[in-house]
Structure 1
Amino acid sequence: MRPAERASGRAGHESSLSVTFGRKGIEAGSKGHREITGWRLAALVFLPFALGYFLSYFFRTINGLVSAPLAAEIGLNAADLGLITAAYFLVLAAAQIPVGMMLDRYGPRRVQSALLVVAALGAEAFARSTGPLSLLLSRALIGLGVAAALTAGLKAIVLWFPRERVALVNGYMVMLGALGAVSATLPAEAILAKTGWRGLFEILAIITAGAAVLIYWLVPEGETKGSPPPAVGGLRSILRDVRFWRIAPLSGACIGSAWSLQGLWASAWLADVEGMTRAQVMTALCLTALMLSLGAWMLGALANWTRRKGLSPEHLLAMVAVLFMAAQLALVWRLPVPAIAPWLIIAIVGAATVLSFAIISDYYPKELAGRANGALNVVHFGWGFLAQYGIGVLLTQWPQSNGHYPVIAYQVAFGVNLALQAAALIWFAAPREQGPRSSDVQSGSATKIVMADLVAAPGERRARSQQPISQARW
């Protein structure tokens, strides 16, 4: 049966949709995007965005591998390395809100493919850099280019997959994307030995440009260009939502810290504190990256299972946070555990975006997914920048000995970050006031909505996400 014939029996709202494949725009008449299922949905939607996130993770963690040759060739200390590496997070954080709005307006295909071109230019510029300033600016350009790598994929998942499967599919995407962190260890080390760090980034520039072309020509999308902002709420409503600010500090403190630690300071700790050789460090980083990928699948599957059992993902996120802090305490207190064990737990927490974005998808309708995910990512990447740069600044307060910082320097730097995470956990667990507010006259207090959301059954939580956001404001 021809597409035009099938279209004649569709519902009115479906008849306004079309699906385009690349610039050639293969029209499907009124064929709704939900009809693309199975392997076609995986090949045309899931895998292309997973590739973009793969590259994002590679860029995020590669400085841990190239930091030694960078420092030797250009003459960088810990603060310099921390700032250059953290520039990625700073630009990511600054770009999340506008990127989220662009995703809601123009769709993930257009936004992701355009920004990956910027990332390719940044990688080429990094390969040609000759000093700290050019490295910093190039790293910032890379950060801008991958600013939509996660949120574009999350937006596509929300648009194309059933809501009850979002956490599981998020887990699969983060799992495959986290393989970029795996590739940034031993495989990248082999390339680095042959090409040097400049040649490595030139290869990355070519691959990233190819990914941009692939996403632009392959990924289907519903027509979203020029769509008006949603009627219920918007960015301002999200930022006034008490539920958002209950989750965001804990999610940002834990996930942002995990990213900053694994992306740069894990290799430094293993070399300076544990006394590992470079080969041993690369092997350890490969193991943590594999655990990051496996952890994404584990957390996605666990969230999917607990959702069916009626347990809220907020509780699961809190338990992951407690485990994360325990692992860092083992490092700071130098507990007699295997050197790699705490870092494996830290790696798993880096994949906890699976939980955070599943929570956000329950709070807001899909029309606000880009804005909501972007707002949460501002906190993630902002904390990642502060943690990555701040640890470097604290380390430089102690003199180096034979090219290594003392153990006490790492204990203090990691301990300060850990204390901030504990404060975020206390904020998350603290009871909210239940006094009446002027905006709560008709809908009940914001606190009651927050507490009800924690214990609501999955069906009730999905229904609540369609309610006006003004019911849960400060």
Structure 2
Amino acid sequence: MSGSRNHRAYVVWAAGVCAYLVAVTQRTTFGVAGIEATERFGATASQLAVFTVVQLLVYAALQIPVGVLVDRWGSRALIVGGALLMMLGQLQLAFADSVGAGIVGRLLVGAGDATTFISVLRLLPAWFEPRRIPVLTQWTGIIGQLGQIMSVVPFVAVLSTFGWTPAFLAAASLSLLAFVLALTLIRDSPQRKSGGVPPTLRQTGVSLAEAWRQPGTRLGLWSHFTIQFPGTVFVLMWGYPYLVSAEGVEEGAASALMTLFVAVGIICGPILGRYVARHPLRRSTMVLAIAGAITLGWLLVLLHAGPAPYWLLALLVVALAIGGPGSMIAFDFARTFNPSTRVGTATGIVNIGGFAASLVSMYVIGVVLDILLASGFSEGRLYSLASFRLALATQLVFLVLGAGATLVARRRVRRQLATQGVVVPPIRQAVARERARRRREKALRRLPEPPGSGRPGQS
């Protein structure tokens, strides 16, 4: 890649990542405004959950259509359109004074959010070499998740100081900025458009069916389903009320835990990106290990007698946060098991997984909280610790279901690889090979440098 093209590629990527960061900010603003929303709209827990469930339902429902459209129209058009929709959604929510009007705003935000991430990922194969893509994919997710800090710190500050309408107007202005940057800086590829004929509707349907039949796409779907949803449910909806109202954590400390969530993702993302690049046959093993860590984290917190200590809540947040960059492995399955012409479609299928699990889990938690309140179990407190524990425990069902489906999909992928002559060695054997390789590299570095040679161990 030449210097000028390399510079241009990073400019395009930066504009796309900025749009994704803004999308995450818009996605998470309502989660930190849950208590204010309850007062503004007079909503119950299940009604409050509907706001985010509708947003995620639209997001999940649009993933396949967006994947098809990005393969057909390109990333720039969808990123620009998404920024416009999110701006309109936040403007609607800023002035909404009823549950119905607020839900319309979140619906628009969900639709705009749905177009952004897939479109940004679709830019990477067009602008960068394949070896760079796993790490850049992780950095896309990492930088985008900084939007959570935007909603937790400055948005919360504006909300508490100036109130509901100014806070959501400020959020809408961010989407206007993303709209301008995407329109002026993003191009779909380094080459000029050839003017080729877009695929027909029938060809699009065939591409969609082929992407679904590919076992690697389904492995990506279930990987995303399993380890993406716990962090999304926590950050997007129930984490903040749980920490503040049930666990009795001060608001400042709760914001610190939410910031820790993002910080852990920033640290783990590049590590996981390098892991994926070096060990492509061990990607699903990492997914299952992260699922186990999340399950263990929730069990330790939910089974603790009395309010959990701060250090234990921090460990839970760390486990949940690893699931964010870990779920990006799912998109690497979509990229490597599908041709470039249907990467967007396959990515859309994969992206459904985590958000479908998120919206169902999120709504189930709200319903359980309302049932426990109506039954008298909560003793008049909607967000009591005992009620939240039972409600949050429902996530374990989705974790077990997702891990089982991931194992089934992995077996099918490995059978497919075996027919192509690729055999996945047992973990013990793979570890032994890696250790042997490192020993060889270490030994070569210790060899004396021959006279006249600029490189050790070579003549």
TM-score grouping bracket, smaller chain normalisation:
0.7 to 0.9
143-152 vs 212-221, which deviates more?
A: 212-221
Structure 1 letter corresponding to 2:222? P
Structure 2 letter corresponding to 1:257? P
Q: Helix, strand or coil: the match of 1:396?
A: helix
Matched with 1:467 is: none
2:67–2:347: 8 Å Cα contact kept in structure 1? yes
Q: Specify which of 314, 317, 325 is matched with residue 351 of structure 1.
A: 325
Residue 278 of structure 1 deviates from its aligned partner by 2.1
Task: Please give the alpha-carbon distance, in whole angstroms, between the structure 2 residues aligned to 1:425 and 1:103.
Answer: 30
Task: Please give the alpha-carbon distance, in whole angstroms, between the structure 1 residues aligned to 2:105 and 2:205.
Answer: 39
Structure 2 letter corresponding to 1:254? I
Structure-to-structure mapping, 1:158-307, within 5 angstroms: 158-222=125-189, 223=193, 226-228=197-199, 234-307=207-280
Matched with 1:42 is: 10
Residue 412 of structure 1 deviates from its aligned partner by 2.3
Task: Please give the alpha-carbon distance, in whole angstroms, between the structure 1 residues aligned to 2:4 and 2:57.
Answer: 37
Distance 1:46 1:401, change over 3 A: farther
Task: Please give the alpha-carbon distance, in whole angstroms, between the structure 1 residues aligned to 2:3 and 2:74.
Answer: 18
Structure 2 letter corresponding to 1:61? T
1:159–1:366: 8 Å Cα contact kept in structure 2? no
Q: Specify which of 360, 363, 369 is matched with residue 386 of structure 1.
A: 360
Matched with 1:321 is: 291
Task: Please give the alpha-carbon distance, in whole angstroms, between the structure 2 residues aligned to 1:431 and 1:251.
Answer: 12
Deviations 1:22-61 (A, max 9, x none): xxxxxxxxxxx98853333211x11111111101211222
197-206 vs 173-182, which deviates more?
A: 197-206
Distance 1:295 1:196, change over 3 A: farther
Structure 1 letter corresponding to 2:237? L
Q: Helix, strand or coil: the match of 2:248?
A: coil
Deviations 1:190-218 (A, max 9, x none): 22233212211111212202211211121
Matched with 1:415 is: 393
Deviations 1:132-189 (A, max 9, x none): 1111111011110111211011100122112222110001111111110111112222
Aligned length: 410
The two structures have a TM-score, normalised by structure 1, of 0.80
85-94 vs 393-402, which deviates more?
A: 393-402
Deviations 1:113-150 (A, max 9, x none): 02211111111001111111111111011110111211
Structure 2 letter corresponding to 1:340? A
2:224–2:328: 8 Å Cα contact kept in structure 1? no
Task: Please give the alpha-carbon distance, in whole angstroms, between the structure 2 residues aligned to 1:78 and 1:212.
Answer: 34
The two structures have a TM-score, normalised by structure 2, of 0.82
Matched with 1:406 is: 384
Long gaps (5+) in structure 2: 426-459
Matched with 1:63 is: 30
Structure 1 letter corresponding to 2:261? T
Matched with 1:51 is: 18
Q: Helix, strand or coil: the match of 1:318?
A: helix
Task: Please give the alpha-carbon distance, in whole angstroms, between the structure 1 residues aligned to 2:168 and 2:65.
Answer: 27
2:227–2:327: 8 Å Cα contact kept in structure 1? no
Structure 2 letter corresponding to 1:141? L
Q: Helix, strand or coil: the match of 1:146?
A: helix
2:301–2:312: 8 Å Cα contact kept in structure 1? no
Residue 421 of structure 1 deviates from its aligned partner by 1.2
Task: Please give the alpha-carbon distance, in whole angstroms, between the structure 2 residues aligned to 1:99 and 1:286.
Answer: 30
Task: Please give the alpha-carbon distance, in whole angstroms, between the structure 2 residues aligned to 1:224 and 1:87.
Answer: 39
1:364–1:372: 8 Å Cα contact kept in structure 2? yes
Residue 450 of structure 1 deviates from its aligned partner by 5.1
1:108–1:152: 8 Å Cα contact kept in structure 2? yes
Residue 249 of structure 1 deviates from its aligned partner by 2.5
Q: Specify which of 62, 79, 89 is matched with residue 46 of structure 2.
A: 79
Structure-to-structure mapping, 1:367-382, within 5 angstroms: 367-382=341-356
Deviations 1:424-465 (A, max 9, x none): 2123224988xxxxxxxxxxx9762056688569xxxxxxxx
Residue 74 of structure 1 deviates from its aligned partner by 1.8
Task: Please give the alpha-carbon distance, in whole angstroms, between the structure 2 residues aligned to 1:40 and 1:294.
Answer: 26
* 1:428 to 2:406 alignment: yes
Task: Please give the alpha-carbon distance, in whole angstroms, between the structure 1 residues aligned to 2:387 and 2:290.
Answer: 27
2:221–2:352: 8 Å Cα contact kept in structure 1? no
Q: Helix, strand or coil: the match of 1:340?
A: helix
Residue 275 of structure 1 deviates from its aligned partner by 0.9
Q: Helix, strand or coil: the match of 2:188?
A: strand
Task: Please give the alpha-carbon distance, in whole angstroms, between the structure 2 residues aligned to 1:421 and 1:175.
Answer: 23
Higher helix share: 2
Structure 1 letter corresponding to 2:199? P
Structure-to-structure mapping, 1:125-164, within 5 angstroms: 125-164=92-131
Distance 1:122 1:232, change over 3 A: closer
1:171–1:301: 8 Å Cα contact kept in structure 2? no
Structure 2 letter corresponding to 1:324? I
1:292–1:351: 8 Å Cα contact kept in structure 2? yes
1:252–1:379: 8 Å Cα contact kept in structure 2? yes
Task: Please give the alpha-carbon distance, in whole angstroms, between the structure 2 residues aligned to 1:132 and 1:451.
Answer: 54
220-229 vs 290-299, which deviates more?
A: 220-229
Matched with 2:335 is: 361
Structure 2 letter corresponding to 1:236? A
Distance 1:295 1:78, change over 3 A: farther
Task: Please give the alpha-carbon distance, in whole angstroms, between the structure 2 residues aligned to 1:256 and 1:361.
Answer: 21
220-229 vs 58-67, which deviates more?
A: 220-229
Task: Please give the alpha-carbon distance, in whole angstroms, between the structure 2 residues aligned to 1:51 and 1:213.
Answer: 11
Long gaps (5+) in structure 1: 1-32, 434-444, 458-474
